[in-house]
Amino acid sequence: MSHVAFSDLRTAAYCPRKCYYQRRQDDDDRKSPPEVTEIRELEPRYESLLEASIDDLGAEPIALPLAAYRDRLAETRQRLEETDHWKRLREPDARNVLATGRHCRGIVHKVLGDPLEPVLVSAGKPPENGVWESQSVHAVAAAKALAWEHERSVERAWLEYPAYGAIRRIDLTTRRKAAYRRALRAVRGLDGPPARIDNRAKCGACEFAEECGVRTRTLRSLLGFG
């Protein structure tokens, strides 16, 4: 059985129907847009960003007010230095590693050693606490692939949000692993479009909404006028 891509697992955890339509695209259409690459390229430059002037920060793809961004990144560094993780994250054992596990494969943005842990770099916004479920599934997939290759257990993973100066570490709990298995089953069962999800809030910004046939509610209808 072929390996499932990390990206498909992440999308299926968000919406299996979106994953179905996404997998029908050409490979060129599935490449990350340039703005995603630009945000991820902030990550190796945290130290220089902390020293940069406000004017220089203004040229970067940062999602917060510039002074607030610098303050948050400084707080993140201080917190991680207190637990000896900042240096590990700044000097990983490897970057952009193609990891292949028993069931899935994909790029791990950074690999840490002692202990072995994957790091994923997100171009998006972090939730108020923890990480998004789709990212949790992605992290479990990356951890399982590394564990399979290195024949070692992996118990934790990291998510970095460079545009927000935030770094989160998560435990790979039983609940997270169960969500990963559900996403894996969903991807492998995509022989046709699955049922639409109930959470239509996810549909408004979906590029496949028209093809999917979902009707998103307008502000007028939400107010009871249509």
Same domain? For 103 and 210 the reply is: no
Same domain? For 101 and 188 the reply is: yes
Same domain? For 67 and 156 the reply is: yes
Same domain? For 203 and 180 the reply is: no
Question: Which tokens belong to 98?
Answer: 């193609």
The pLDDT assigned to 225 comes to 44
Domain harbouring 54, CATH code:
3.90.320
* Type and span of the H or E element at 171: strand 166-171
The pLDDT assigned to 36 comes to 95
Same domain? For 109 and 214 the reply is: no
Same domain? For 43 and 72 the reply is: yes
First vs last C-alpha separation in the chain = 49
Q: How many structural domains is the chain composed of?
A: 2
Provide φ and ψ at 138, rounded to 5°: -60, -45
The pLDDT assigned to 207 comes to 78
The pLDDT assigned to 102 comes to 96
Same domain? For 60 and 85 the reply is: yes
Same domain? For 119 and 14 the reply is: yes
Same domain? For 120 and 214 the reply is: no
The pLDDT assigned to 224 comes to 46
Name the percent of the chain in helix, strand, coil, to the closest 5: 50, 15, 35
Per-residue pLDDT of the chain (226 residues; tens, 9 = 90+): 689 999 999 999 988 888 888 887 766 556 778 999 999 999 999 999 999 999 999 999 999 999 999 999 999 999 999 999 999 999 999 999 999 999 999 999 999 999 999 999 999 999 999 999 999 999 999 999 999 999 999 999 999 999 999 999 999 999 999 999 999 999 998 877 766 766 666 777 777 877 777 655 444 444 444 4
Same domain? For 143 and 207 the reply is: no
Amino acid at 69: Y
Distance CA 131, CA 72 (A): 17
Domain containing 67: what range? Answer: 4-195
The pLDDT assigned to 41 comes to 97
